[in-house]
A and B are shown apart, each in its own frame.
Chain A
């Protein structure tokens, strides 16, 4: 395989990885703030994508407005879910909390099928057709633009956490709940906000993924890909999610490119990140950049 082909694989891996990173960040925000492993992240993404699609095709809004609609709709869903379902589950066993989010994902999938039907839909053309050329690497504009949107969203989120009062309060709560509470931070608001943020992030990611490859109620299955990413990056590290997303995107693309010919029809791409996940946990049981829990009596 030539260097050019390698670069092509690597760069389109980075593009996929950027999107993984965006989804994973939504997941990490919720885990950091509330300790919940959110199995519904993929379905929040799918709902967001459908909101955006509806805004564009049914309401015939421009793309930018559709992004806003997707984000707003998802924010509503996030807030509702946190208030009605997750809050009563505070302090319950991990298995219960995990299962609640799995239950939610199933409800979302069913609702989407009822509302939008089960078939595949695609977004109207949005971006200029001209592919982006980076030296020997050619990126179709369907990939380049969504990647840039994902990147912008990640930068905006990082800025929110670093520079706004609310972002700082959320970071403080994640670090030390009791102290944050003592400082007068409204913990419940932080929990609610973290779900809203996660839903908005997921919705943006959903629109981006939808623009690239079309949408259906099964779109949420991509959510599973979060896990290798956050195990690499650490369940509670936003920077880690970014790095982890991109590394996993590149890894699965390279694995697919180089190993698929050896295993015809096997889809090595699908399984490679999970093998990496297991290997990482063997070496570092709390993820590569995750915080180790200190055991106490």
Chain B
């Protein structure tokens, strides 16, 4: 029974993890995350890396779309920009990963600023359509600027290395990915403890009265675009050292949509939800694959259903959450918590 928990000072009340229970939960989670790579199979580690990279990108998107209300249909393009920038920094300039990945973040951040620049004049749905155009144009550039991007053959990159240690397996890359994910999730959560994050939410909820409260709309929106694409760029940089090759078809519109699905399913405007969403949206198709594989015993051509079923389940998941659980997994999570908070006396 966990009833009764009174904060002593305002500082306690401002902490990210406020209760002993939530701090204990965090400790358990961290311990599990540290043990995981030593016990998990290669396949699970591959999935974990993928989830981690996508979670970083989705955090960026949630900052822009969930918290600031600026819809982006081009987030995958920024991941791509970060990936190419990292790959180029690593191969042409010979930078080590701890410089090339941040370089990818910074270049994506600048690209985000450029795309965000018109956001003061172009609003709402029109802005969403503009980001869609950015997605199409960036993809085109990735494919056709062969001198820089290597065209459809792409760029190959050596594994990341540190003091002679090579991050040359999914198990080793795991530490890079989840170290950065932890850092960036902490940063994102911090953002919303301060005036910067409050301004983002205010712009989303009512931009005009936000302005009359002293918030510079232009600066705020550009800032959201830049932070968001920085996160995307870091995710792209990690992708480079995960996949070790960058090709244009890795960053299609459908990936942008997948990021949007993650923040919708997880919960718009929540950090925790973003993480839930990244896990859920990445793992559901894998679960479907497992089920279909099992079904081949009953019907040998079951595998041919996999591709269409993935489409249907993906779409139905988005529609279902929006119609029945518009606040996403984060809200389900807090309902469950509230239930156990008062357990065994649930109201």
A–B contact with Cβ pairs below 8 Å: the answer is yes
Chain B residues numbered 128-162 whose CB sits less than 8 Å from any CB in chain A: 128-130, 132-134, 136-137, 140, 143-144
Considering residues A105, A107, A228, which has the most beta carbons from chain B within 10 angstroms of its beta carbon?
Answer: A107
Considering residues A88, A270, A275, A277, which has the most beta carbons from chain B within 10 angstroms of its beta carbon?
Answer: A277
Interface class of chain B by DSSP:
helix
Which residues of A are found within 8 Å of B274, using beta-carbon distances?
none
Are B123's CB and A95's CB within 8 A? no
Confirm or deny: B113 has a beta carbon within 8 angstroms of a beta carbon on chain A.
no
Which residues of B are found within 8 Å of A295, using beta-carbon distances?
208
Chain B residues numbered 305-319 whose CB sits less than 8 Å from any CB in chain A: 305, 307-319
Considering residues B133, B209, B264, which has the most beta carbons from chain A within 10 angstroms of its beta carbon?
Answer: B133
Are A110's CB and B319's CB within 8 A? no
Are B315's CB and A110's CB within 8 A? yes
Given contacts A85-B319, A92-B326, contact A297 B128 (CB under 8 A): no
Complex Cα distance A109/B311, Å? 7
Are A285's CB and B323's CB within 8 A? no
Are B319's CB and A103's CB within 8 A? yes
Complex Cα distance A71/B222, Å? 45
Are B307's CB and A111's CB within 8 A? no
Selected contact of A277 from candidates B128, B129, B144, CB within 8 Å: B129
Are B257's CB and A102's CB within 8 A? yes
Confirm or deny: B94 has a beta carbon within 8 angstroms of a beta carbon on chain A.
no
Confirm or deny: B71 has a beta carbon within 8 angstroms of a beta carbon on chain A.
yes
Complex Cα distance A109/B209, Å? 42
Which residues of A are found within 8 Å of B268, using beta-carbon distances?
93, 95
Chain A residues numbered 215-239 whose CB sits less than 8 Å from any CB in chain B: 224, 227-228, 231, 235
Selected contact of A287 from candidates B71, B126, B257, B307, CB within 8 Å: B126
Which residues of B are found within 8 Å of A23, using beta-carbon distances?
none
Which residues of A are found within 8 Å of B316, using beta-carbon distances?
103, 107
Complex Cα distance A70/B207, Å? 44
Given contacts A37-B125, A277-B129, A281-B126, contact A113 B326 (CB under 8 A): no
Which residues of B are found within 8 Å of A270, using beta-carbon distances?
136, 140
Confirm or deny: B65 has a beta carbon within 8 angstroms of a beta carbon on chain A.
yes
Which residues of B are found within 8 Å of A228, using beta-carbon distances?
133
Are B137's CB and A98's CB within 8 A? no
Which residues of A are found within 8 Å of B295, using beta-carbon distances?
none
Confirm or deny: B260 has a beta carbon within 8 angstroms of a beta carbon on chain A.
yes
Confirm or deny: B195 has a beta carbon within 8 angstroms of a beta carbon on chain A.
no
Are A271's CB and B122's CB within 8 A? no
Complex Cα distance A108/B125, Å? 23
Interface class of chain A by DSSP:
helix
Complex Cα distance A94/B123, Å? 12
Are A94's CB and B124's CB within 8 A? yes
**How close is A23's CB to chain B, nearest CB, in angstroms?**
15
Confirm or deny: B261 has a beta carbon within 8 angstroms of a beta carbon on chain A.
yes
A side interface size, CB within 8 A: 49
Which residues of A are found within 8 Å of B132, using beta-carbon distances?
224, 227, 274
Which residues of B are found within 8 Å of A114, using beta-carbon distances?
305, 308-309, 312
Complex Cα distance A278/B308, Å? 34
Are A103's CB and B322's CB within 8 A? yes
Cβ contacts B296-333/A at 8 Å (1 or 0 each): 00000000010111111111111100110010000000
Given contacts A111-B312, A278-B130, contact A99 B322 (CB under 8 A): yes
Complex Cα distance A248/B99, Å? 43
Which residues of B are found within 8 Å of A99, using beta-carbon distances?
260-261, 264, 318, 322
Are A118's CB and B118's CB within 8 A? no
Which residues of A are found within 8 Å of B92, using beta-carbon distances?
none
Selected contact of A111 from candidates B126, B136, B257, B308, CB within 8 Å: B308
Confirm or deny: A263 has a beta carbon within 8 angstroms of a beta carbon on chain B.
yes
Are B308's CB and A110's CB within 8 A? yes
Given contacts A98-B71, A113-B307, contact A103 B126 (CB under 8 A): no
Chain A residues numbered 85-142 whose CB sits less than 8 Å from any CB in chain B: 85, 88-89, 92-96, 98-100, 102-114, 118
- 5 A-B pairs with the lowest CB-CB distances in the bound complex, closest first: A106-B315, A110-B311, A103-B318, A110-B312, A107-B315
Q: Apart from A100-B322, A103-B314, A278-B137, what are 20 other A-B pairs with CB-CB below 8 Å? A: A37-B125, A37-B129, A85-B319, A94-B71, A94-B124, A96-B264, A99-B322, A103-B261, A106-B314, A107-B315, A107-B316, A109-B311, A110-B308, A110-B310, A110-B313, A266-B144, A271-B136, A275-B137, A281-B122, A281-B129
Pairs A–B under 8 Å by Cβ, sample size 27: A85-B319, A88-B323, A92-B326, A95-B65, A95-B268, A96-B322, A98-B128, A102-B318, A103-B318, A103-B322, A104-B319, A106-B311, A106-B312, A106-B315, A107-B315, A107-B316, A112-B308, A114-B305, A235-B126, A270-B136, A270-B140, A271-B137, A274-B132, A275-B137, A277-B133, A281-B130, A293-B123
